[in-house]
Amino acid sequence: MNKGARTYPARELQVILDNSSSHRTAGVQAWLARHLHIHFHDTPTSASWLNQVEGFVGIFSKQSLSLTDRPSKSALRGTTIIVVAISSTHFASAPVCLS
C-alpha cells in the first residue's frame, strides 16, 4: 500500500479487501488517517465475491486443467478464455446447482 500511496498521491484509491480483522487494526487505521486519499472496502462476510471466484477457480482447475495437457502457455490461455466465456454465459442465464 505504501507503493500505491507514493505512486498515486493525487488520486483517490479504492481498495477492496477480504473481510479480515487484520485490516482493522489500530496500525492500519493510523496509516489510513495519514493517507486520506486511500479508502478500504471490505467484502461481505458471508457472500464474498472472492469466495465465489475461489470456488470457480477450484472447479475450473479440477474439471478443465487437470484433465488436459496443454503444449504451451498460449494454448492454456486459449482454453481458459473459452471456459470463462462459456461459464459466464451459462451462469448469467440460469441458476446453477453445483452440488
- Say yes or no to pLDDT of 59 above 70: yes
pLDDT in tens, 9-34: 999 998 888 777 777 899 999 999 99
96: confidence class by pLDDT, cuts 50, 70, 90: very low
Q: What does the pLDDT read at residue 98?
A: 38
| Mean pLDDT calculated for residue range 65-86 | 75
Cβ–Cβ under 8 Å, residues 4 and 38: yes
Residue % of the chain over a pLDDT of 70: 75
